[in-house]
Amino acid sequence: MAHELNVLALVKGGERYVFVFDDESRAKLIDSFRDLAANPHLSLTWFDALVLTKKAREQEETETDATADGPTPRM
């Protein structure tokens, strides 16, 4: 089976935050949101970190649900 990657992106004005990660690094990614929000030199806010964390966890739940339902038939 191929190694799958997840992508989360946040666009704030002219800035773009793009995160590419695998399932095993999701917890480290969520920790990095906190670190980025604490950095006063970045525009990423605590609210942004909250939204990104929520989206990362939703992706995980969606993947878990899809696995439990079995493979999607292809036509």
Please state the domain extents for the chain. 23-67
What pTM does this model have? 0.77
* Whole-number Cα distances in Å, 41 to 12, 18, 20, 36, 45: 15, 17, 22, 9, 11
Paired tokens of 30 = 């969520």
Q: Which residues pair with 20 in a beta bridge?
A: 7
Over residues 23-64, the pLDDT tens digits come to 999 999 999 999 999 999 999 999 999 999 999 999 888 876
Instruction: Measure the CA–CA gap between 71 and 14, rounded to whole angstroms.
Output: 39
How open is the CA angle 36-23-10, to the nearest 5 degrees? 40
